[in-house]
Structure 1
Amino acid sequence: MLRITKQTFLLAGLTALLAACGTTTTTADTTLSAQAAMPASTASIRMTTAEAAGSFGAWATGSFGAWASGSFGAWASGSFGVWATTFADGTPNPLHNNVEEWNQIHLAGAQTLAPNLGAGVIVAVIDTGIDLKHPAFEGTLTPARTWRDYAMSGRPDRDPSEEGTPADHGYGHGTAVAGIILQVAPNAKILPIRALRATGEGSSTDIAEAITYAVDQGAKIINVSAVADRDSDISKAIDYASVKGAYVVMAAGNRGDHVVQYPASKAGLTNSMGIMGISVGSIERTFKKSAYSNYGHQLEILAPGTEIVTAYPEGQIRAVTGTSFAVPVVSGVLALALGERYSADNAGQLAEKLKFGGRNVDEYNTDLMGTMGGQILGSGLLNAEAFLNNVR
């Protein structure tokens, strides 16, 4: 779930943008939809892109600049051009607007400690699909034979392209998620799996099948920016992933209340699902929990999720907001660790070590303290550099 905002950027070349959001699941074959003030139903649970107001497609208005041709490839060179206002050749960098967020989680230090930048790590993005032609994804996707679309009627096919138009509630969601992951771990490989329609809706059965399929394709990290009010067959798929050694990163939800939604709430368990899963909320630059982000005893880590500039269909870039956008930040940091040889010494422990290496932010959130008792903001703010140091 997430709230989406928009900014305008004047750049050169092709345009790029990303948007991510959260989803929900239920006990049977439930319907998932973007959670924009949709009433819960006993027959189906609708998942939503976590917005403060309006529909996910609201960000599609206005003009956007172009993604600089060839500039994305500079991320993989190790020069960390992502933090500069321009690349070495003078081309404007469309994503320098995220510099404060990346500094907040000490990303530059983490990438220095992980020079492979996630190379060899497959991250499955189970979402609304992605814009396969976006320049941000050139050379970053797994082989086409591994792609899948479970959101179509009938048997799944191999075309996980974003469908619909900007007027659709969930259009661009998966593209956004994938783009954020690659900002953090530029050499990781994205396995695109479409399990949600452009409306932001999807079946929990489809998502469960997608998770199982991703694991069987060698994905070591599975990004699930989807939420629901109750449990479903997705939990069995997450358990399968955990037993197979894959980490599952999930959104806490965007209602702003003290209940972490499913399936993220499962990450709080002490079994394999809890050890290999991680629930993610959103934090502001001020170190306050984002007003829209859910919290509570099952929240494990906070990451930036407000106005994150990323890729969007048709080669665009936009700024997005919500816990769905915080999730791929964590997925990317896990990919950095898994891309290094020393991470093998911490097999099955990376999620736990990431959770407990965060910065305590209770002093910035005194309005929440004492309302529930105990730890309600998890381990606080993600510290990517401290985490990488801890798993060396």
Structure 2
Amino acid sequence: MTNKIAALSLLTLGLLSACSNTAPTADVPSTPPPAATPVAQERFVQVAMVPLQAGDTPQSLAAAVGGAVLSWAEDGCSSGDEINCMAIMGLKSQADGQPLRAQSDRTMYIEPNKDVFGGGGKMTATMGGRISMWAGGRISMWAGGRISMWAGGQFTQLPENTKLWQKIRLEEAQHMAPKLGAGVTVAVIDTGLDLQHPAFSNSLSAPSTWYDFYDGDTMPQDEGTFGVGGYGHGSNVAGIVLQVAPGAKIMPLRVLGSDGSGDVIMVARAILWAADHGANVINLSLGSSENSKIVQDAIKKVTRSRVLVVSSAGNSNLNKITYPAADATAKDSGDYSLSVGSVDLNDVKSSFSNYSDKLKLVAPGENVYAPAPDGRMAAWSGTSMAAPMASGGLALALGQQLASGELIEEMTENAADIYKISANNPYKDKLGEKGRLDLVRFLDSASDD
């Protein structure tokens, strides 16, 4: 990407680098700290957006609010661009910000910050053997043997996923898009990845583009105990993207802890970081029950630069999808934003999947096998697994040099109709604009434009 996001407002005053205690290895260079004074890593209770006024300085606002200045964007003040005439403030307590709230001529927007976002889905099956199970050809898809991905209609490297890929017609789609996503970077904003997993060898973006916003260092390693909480969630999501578009690169960005939760400011920063460091697609297999204006403003900024954003719909079986997926229809970013729910192999709504008339698409999200930490493989189920299928499909199209501007519309308008299935009658028009992801119809239509 040649144009950086204006002001990168959520990154301007630091990427938490001051608090890093992790020494990068020789082959994983450290990201240079920003020019401005970095902000110490801290889990703020709330975060505030404060419109800037003439005479404001970071020091004066910090003194008035009682919190910490996390970003400072003033490039848009003269033009009336509110998004780029704003300070983002971290508030340590409910009492912070009271003096500024009393100013009648300034409106300060405050929202909860800590542990607002969570990654959805759960591990449903594992396979043992660790590194050894990748022997005998399974790893060849990621290590350059992509021509042998399919044999007689069977997905040879991970045959457990064959029926899933047949459902979205992946084999034919990969023949239609022979570059397989080469030249495309997909940012996976999640729990991090098992960076040493052989499945990710040669498939990650340059280490200078990685960041761990949760710990404040340059090693977004998936951390935790196998089978507990969110550990392995990001590795699974990234592995799904690479199965669909094995030529793409994954940019690992960690915003969720081992329990699968993370802060508003971490998610927003990661979105802007991804766009500024060359991501073409951003996968957000995470969500919140409450809207975050700060995260939504970050999405507005990156979609202005034609970065595609894919978000999962949530796993509570509610007639309401989580944010930011719920905002994927927003007028100012909807052409570049996609929300994804889950169906089973019979195209019936997954028992866990949220649904809504705002939902744009569904994809099969049950028992999806992909890399897991410590060299393992595991299956997860959730809308978190459906979203990266769409992200991978978009990477296939972008790899063929198709313009990003109409790809979201093409993908949703050319989905397979699943409303004729009686089990979906209660969810009429709430399982996507048309229905389930069909990569062949999508690529065929997008190629004709």
Higher gyration radius (CA): 2
**Contact 1:69–1:135 under 8 Å retained in 2:** no
CA contact (8 A) 2:115 2:263 kept: no
Per-residue deviation, 1:212: 0.0
Paired residue for 1:137? Answer: 200
Residues 83 and 96 of structure 1 are in contact (CA less than 8 Å); yes or no, is this contact kept in structure 2?
Answer: no
SS at match of 2:204: coil
Tell me how many residue pairs correspond in the alignment: 338
Change (3 A) 1:80 1:281: farther
Is contact 2:154-2:162 (8 Å) kept?
no
Deviations along 1:325-364, one digit per CA (max 9) or x if unpaired, are: 00111000000000013x03xx311111111100110121
CA contact (8 A) 1:82 1:95 kept: no
The 1:366/1:69 distance shift into structure 2, 3 A limit, reads: closer
Report the Cα offset of residue 388 of structure 1.
Answer: 0.7
Aligned to 1:225: 285
2:408 corresponds to which of 351, 362, 377 = 351
Structure in which a larger fraction of residues adopt strand: 2
CA distance in 2, matches of 1:352, 1:58: 32
Q: What corresponds to 1:50 in structure 2?
A: 120
Instruction: Tell me, in whole angstroms, the C-alpha distance in 2 between the residues paired with 1:102 and 1:58.
Output: 18
2:353 to 293, 297, 318: 293
Rounded Cα–Cα distance in structure 2 between residues aligned with 1:220 and 1:362: 32
1:245 equivalent in structure 2: 306
- Out of 90, 103, 116, the position equivalent to 2:179 is 116
Match of 2:134?
67
Q: Which moved more, 1:159-168 or 1:118-127?
A: 159-168
Greater relative contact order (CA < 8 Å, ≥ 6 in sequence): 1
- By how many angstroms is 1:287 displaced? 1.2
Q: Which residue of 1 aligns with 2:444?
A: 389
Instruction: Give the residue type in structure 1 aligned to 2:416.
Output: R
Q: Residue by residue, what CA displacement relative to the aligned partner does 1:6-58 show, whole Å, maximum 9, x if unpaired? A: xxxxxxxxxxxxxxxxxxxx98679xxxxxxxxxx97756444435xxxx578
Contact 2:340-2:383 within 8 A present in 1 as well: yes
Q: Does 1:235 align with 2:309?
A: no
Work out whether residues 188 and 284 of structure 2, in 8 Å CA contact, stay in contact via their aligned partners in 1. yes
Q: Is 2:271 aligned against 1:211?
A: yes
Match of 1:79 in 2: 147
Shift of 1:78: 4.3
Change in CA separation of 1:167 and 1:357 when aligned onto 2, cut-off 3 Å: closer
Cα 1:43/1:160, change in 2 over 3 Å: closer
1:379 to 434, 438, 441: 434
AA aligned to 2:173 is A
Partner Cα distance (1:151, 1:289) in 2: 33
For 1:131 and 1:376, the matched residues in 2 are separated by: 33
Question: Sequence identity of aligned pairs in percent?
Answer: 37
CA distance in 2, matches of 1:98, 1:349: 29
1:164 Cα offset (Å): 2.0
Conserved in 1, the CA contact under 8 Å of 2:360 and 2:432? yes
Where do 5+ consecutive residues of structure 1 fail to align?
1-25, 31-40, 88-92
CA contact (8 A) 1:114 1:337 kept: yes
- Of 94-103 and 211-220, deviating more is 94-103
Q: Residue 367 and residue 340 in structure 1: after superposition, are their counterparts in 2 closer, same or farther (change >3 A)? A: closer
Judge conservation of contact 2:118–2:288 (CA < 8 Å) in 1: no
Match of 1:338 in 2: 398
Aligned-residue offset at 1:144:
1.0
Aligned-pair CA distance for 1:318: 1.1
**8 A contact 1:50–1:322 mirrored in 2:** yes
| 1:198 CA displacement | 1.0
Structure 2 length normalisation: TM-score?
Answer: 0.70
The 3 A distance-change label for structure 1 pair 83 and 253 is farther
Structure 1 position 204, deviation (Å): 1.0
Alpha-carbon distance in 2 for matches of 1:206, 1:47: 10
Aligned partner letter, 2:135: A
Counterpart-to-counterpart distance in 2, 1:308 and 1:357:
23
- TM superposition shift of 1:270: 2.6
Q: CA offset at residue 291 of structure 1?
A: 1.0
**What is the DSSP-based 3-state SS (H/G/I as helix, E as strand, rest coil) of the residue aligned with 1:269?**
coil
Residue 370 of structure 2 is matched in structure 1 by 310
Unaligned runs of 5+ residues in structure 2 are: 1-45, 49-89, 92-110
Change (3 A) 1:202 1:42: closer
Q: Is the 8 A contact 2:123 2:380 kept in 1?
A: no
Structure 1 residue identity aligned to 2:299: I
| More divergent stretch after superposition (140-149 vs 117-126) | 140-149
Within 5 A, what are the aligned runs for 1:100-179?
100-152=163-215, 156-166=216-226, 168-179=228-239
1:376 CA drift (Å): 4.6
- In structure 2, what is the Cα distance between the partners aligned to 1:162 and 1:367? 36
Whichever residue aligns with residue 151 of structure 1, its letter is Y
Residues 82 and 96 in structure 1, CA contact (< 8 A), matched pair in contact too: no
- Aligned residues of 1:82 and 1:183 also touching (Cα < 8 A): no
- CA 57–336 in structure 1, closer or farther in 2 if over 3 Å, else same: closer
